[in-house]
Structure formats: C-alpha cells, structure tokens
Chain A
Amino acid sequence: MKVKQISIFLENKSGRLAQVTRVLGDNGINIRALAIADTTDFGILRLIVNDPDRAYRVLKEAGFTVSATDVIAVEVVDEPGGLAGVLAVLQEASLNIEYLYAFLQKASRAALVVFRVEQLDEAIAALQAKGIRILSGEEVYAL
C-alpha cells in the first residue's frame, strides 16, 4: 500500500529543476506527480515516477543528493468536502501529516492525493477502516 517517492535536494538557482527533468527524460522515466517545498536557500523536489528505483539510480549518478521515502496515495472523491473527509480520519487517529500534494491525473471522477505521515502503517489502517481507497505502488507507477 506504500508508494516510493523520490526526493531531490535542490539549491535555489536557475536551471536545477530543468536538469533533473532532463536526466529523467533522457532515461525514459515518466513523472506522475511532483511537488516542491522550498526555503530561501534550497528546495526539496518530491517526485512520483513510473520507475522509482531507476530514477533514484540515474539521479544519483548525475550527482544529485537523492533519497527514497515511502508515502501513501489516497483516492479522494472529487467533490466538495472530499479531502476534508480524509483529513478528518487522520486527525481522529492523531496522525500528523508532514506534507501532502495532489496528483497530476487524466480526467477521472476521483482525485489522488499523496500523503507523507510519520506512522504510515497506522494511517493506512485508519483510512482503510473507513473504506477509503489507497492505491498500491504498482497501480500508481502504472497510471
């Protein structure tokens, strides 16, 4: 039920993001979702790709500082209050969200949201208990 996310340390200077995407493109790796967290000095680029193990390897070989982190991809009903319902479940279970971001997705009735929480297994159990669908890694990579 866990999805492997690739994170890359980027200095805030021009051309770095382009460089990452070029390396991935040259290696035939497709980006499924991305988010950037940034401060005045640096940023962390988070990526969901179709082949995380290879993405990790090629980026590392290209000289980037890379790490792999487990996250969960949750299907959220695409209607007002959809996300609120998911967040309420996590809140009830006292699970802190470190960050979340939405998926780039082709037309569909459901939205996908990526969550990073400290206690992944507890979060998965709490969400599944409420009938919320969590996508497996294979499903996500193949999207």
Chain B
Amino acid sequence: MYWDREHETMSREQLRALQLERLQLTIERVYRNVPFYRQRFTEMGIKPSSVRSLEDLRRLPFTTKQDLRDNYPFGLFAVPMSDVVRVHASSGTTGKPTVVGYTRNDIYTWAELIARSLVCAGATKFDVVQNAYGYGLFTGGLGLHFGAERLGATVVPVSGGNTQRQLMLMQDFGTTILTCTPSYALYMAEEGQKMGLDFKKLPLKAGIFGAEPWSERMRRQLEEKLDLMALDIYGLSEIMGPGVAMECAEKQGMHIWEDHFIPEIIDPATGEVLPPGEEGELVITTITKEAFPLIRYRTRDITRLDPEPCACGRTHMRIKRITGRSDDMLIIRGVNVFPSQVESVLLEFGETEPHYLLVVDRKANLDNLEIWVEVAEHMFSDTVRKLEDLEHRLRERIESVLGISARVKLVEPNTIPRSEGKAKRVVDRRQI
C-alpha cells in the first residue's frame, strides 16, 4: 500500500533524473535569491551551470547550523516574506533558536510526505491518529497533523503531556495510530498498565515514534506493551520537520524521500563523501523546498545509507537508526539541547568561565535533566535565601532558553571533572 505509488516506487534511473532536474533548479534559485549562497558559490568559483550531474553535488559547500545562526532569523529564506505562510523554530546552539520557513507549497509537500509516512505504517482515512507530539514552534505536532489530515484520517490534536487525558482519549476515541516520542509512548504504556488498562483490547495498530534516538530493545517493549507495530520516523526542522524519512513495515531502516531530499554520508572530520553502506554523518540537500532550501546541510546525525532494494517495493534508499551525533547536542524529551545554551545563560549571570555539567537520566521512561553549576565566589552569598533565589533564577532562565524543565544544582568548586583542562559538559546515563 502506497500513498504516492508513482514517486515512491519509481526506478532508480528515473529518480536520479528527477533529482538532478530538481537539484539544478534549487541551485539556480538559491544562487539568485539567497545572498549567502551566491557569495559562497562565487568564492568557490561555482556557477549554477557548473552542476551538470548528481556527482557535482559533492563540489558544493556545506551549510551548517552556524550559518543558520549567522543569518538569524530569516536571512537564508529564498522567497519574500509575503510568500512565507509559516515559521517553526528549534534549538540553536546559544540563546537564539534556529528559524525555518515554509511557503504554501512547502506545507503541501510536507503534508504529502507525512501522508506517505503514515501509509508506511498502514494508515488509511479510516484511522484515528492521536498526535501527542508537541504543537507550537516545534515541527512535530503541526507536521504530523497536516499530513494526517491530508491522508483523510481523523486527527486528535492532543499535543504532548497530560497522560491521564491521553489514555482516556485513546480508549474513548478508539485511537488506532499513536504519534509521539518513543520514551513518552513507553511512559504512557506503563501509566496505562498501572490503571489496569489492557492495551490488547484497544484498537491501536501502529505507533510512529520519533524526535529522539531509540533502539530495537525499545521497539520490542513498545510493541509488547502497547500491542502495536512501532515504527521509526526521522526528520529535523532545518530540512522540513518529521517525515524526511520513514520506516516501512519491513522495519529495516527509514526510507528517505529522495524525490525531495538528496542524502549523502560524509566523514565528519574531513567532509569527504563515504561509499554507500559506511557509517558517517548524514548530509541532506533539499531539492523542492521554496522558502528555506538548504544545500548540503550537515545534520550532525550519525547513520548509514542502505541502497539495497526493500521488500516493500519502495525504491528510496533507507537510513539506519541514528547511532549518535558528530556534535555535543542532546535530545531530551524530544527537544534538542546544546550544552552551549546553558553556557550562554551562565555568561548572562556574570560567570566569566562557567563550570557546569548536564546530567541526563531516564527514570520511568521520562528524561530528567539536572544542571550542576559550580558556585564561584562572586555568586556565593552567605544567606540560604539568596542562594536559593540564584538557583531559582538560573532554573527559570535555563528553562526558557532550552524549552524544557531542568533542575539546577549548585555544587562546590572543582566538583565537575576536567580532563586536560577542558571540562566535560555532559553525563548521559540513559539506557535506550
């Protein structure tokens, strides 16, 4: 069962021809409309006409998150703001978020790709999709929402949190497809069990779980506890949001929708393109996006590309589960967190050389973030009230910058391990 049989199953030759045509149009467009790209290309002696084959892609410069930051908020948009119908944002490396924009066509394409992804999980217009991804600046909620509507399914836009209500709606509305982070799905499963809920008696058939890394071990747990088929979905706001790649029922990796995105795997240290099948950093070029096209965007996600044909009949290559990052980004409760964001807050508080540590743990399937901050002399006050007030203000500011709650713990100097003079910034104790 496919949503868009023509595109999902087109031959590799046709797909490559389509990719080249769309790539050339994209290069032409960014050269014309985005000063950043025109300048980069000019510096490297590249003209749109120099891209004659897909192999020429590797001669183009990379785009990084830093480039997005340098052009905050709308500097990389390739259309006038009058054509931008929506923006989303995700975590930047410091206080400012990474902003992305969509034209009406971009929203349509996104909905199409989500519809494809839902159909990968066996969804039809008869399904009830309980969408427990967060709605708002985060792409998860609205992304899934529009795609499920496009498919014609019944969407329950419940957003994240409020587990009791989630479980009530799941029973009362007869949810058949659940979309959320895998850790939250496990949390719901366990809360449901505590309430005596028998998931085998519910009509749940599939779960589309993403926005954070997970494992085959979690898949087994999810499938057993919730009595559904658990599938992985991949995306990042910079490229579009969820639905860049989606697992099919074969569960052998996520088909990356190659008629819209060109994936490459590079060695993160050298930037060299690696042969198919080798593990490295995923780099994506968007070839249909209008508002916010990106050339060779470094996702920092570590994975492999599997070019082997899939039993499902889809011809698009698959990316394997994300095994790590080539930077220090953490994903906590589905939210991207950079240690440098915490550092920027501490600098605001007058710390000249902040010593801090992010300690992440998963208890009862919920991620907990604790931030240890060494108390320097100038922060130290003789009264408990003032120190507690400092803790409180730090917590509020960090929460507002990170977008998730965190516990701030003041610790003594030299508590945080330093290796070769460079402090360790993260302790991740989660078992996924």
Interface residues of A (CB under 8 A from B): 5, 7, 9-11, 16, 37-39, 41-42, 44, 46, 60, 63-67, 69, 98-99, 116
Q: What's the minimum C-beta distance from A9 to chain B, rounded to whole angstroms? A: 5
Q: Which among B376, B383, B411 has the greatest number of chain A C-beta atoms within 10 A?
A: B383
**Which residues of chain A have C-beta atoms less than 8 A from B376's C-beta?**
65
**Quick check: A65 and B377 within 8 Å, CB to CB?**
yes
With A9-B410, A11-B415: A39-B388 Cβ-Cβ less than 8 Å: yes
B16 in contact (CB, < 8 A): no
A contact face: mostly helix, strand, loop, or mixed: strand
**Which residues of chain A have C-beta atoms less than 8 A from B410's C-beta?**
9, 11, 41-42
**Quick check: B414 and A63 within 8 Å, CB to CB?**
yes
Number of A-B contacts (CB under 8 A): 54
**Quick check: B382 and A67 within 8 Å, CB to CB?**
yes
Rounded to whole angstroms, the CA-CA distance of A66 and B380 in the bound complex is: 8
The answer, among B377, B384, B414, for a CB contact under 8 Å with A44, is B384
**Quick check: B384 and A9 within 8 Å, CB to CB?**
no
The answer, among A7, A39, A41, for a CB contact under 8 Å with B382, is A7
The answer, among A39, A65, A99, A116, for a CB contact under 8 Å with B412, is A65
**Quick check: B380 and A67 within 8 Å, CB to CB?**
yes
Chain B interface size, under 10 / 10 to 19 / 20 to 34 / 35 or more: 10 to 19
Q: Which among A11, A63, A66 has the greatest number of chain B C-beta atoms within 10 A?
A: A11
**Quick check: B380 and A41 within 8 Å, CB to CB?**
no
**Which residues of chain B have C-beta atoms less than 8 A from A10's C-beta?**
412
B409 in contact (CB, < 8 A): yes
**Which residues of chain B have C-beta atoms less than 8 A from A16's C-beta?**
412
With A9-B375, A42-B387: A69-B412 Cβ-Cβ less than 8 Å: no
**Which residues of chain A have C-beta atoms less than 8 A from B377's C-beta?**
60, 65-67
**Quick check: A46 and B382 within 8 Å, CB to CB?**
yes
Chain B 377-414 interface 0/1 with A at a Cβ cutoff of 8 Å (1 = within): 10011111101100000000000000000000111111
Rounded to whole angstroms, the CA-CA distance of A113 and B382 in the bound complex is: 18
**Which residues of chain A have C-beta atoms less than 8 A from B413's C-beta?**
63-65
Closest to B411 in A: A11
10 pairs, A vs B, C-beta closer than 8 Å = A37-B383, A42-B410, A44-B383, A46-B382, A60-B377, A64-B412, A65-B376, A67-B380, A67-B382, A69-B382
| Besides the known contacts A44-B384, A65-B375, A67-B382, 16 further A-B residue pairs in the complex with CB atoms under 8 A apart | A5-B382, A7-B380, A7-B382, A9-B387, A9-B412, A11-B412, A37-B384, A42-B410, A44-B382, A44-B383, A63-B413, A65-B413, A67-B380, A67-B381, A69-B382, A116-B382
**Which residues of chain B have C-beta atoms less than 8 A from A39's C-beta?**
384, 387-388
Q: What's the minimum C-beta distance from A66 to chain B, rounded to whole angstroms? A: 7
**Quick check: B383 and A98 within 8 Å, CB to CB?**
yes
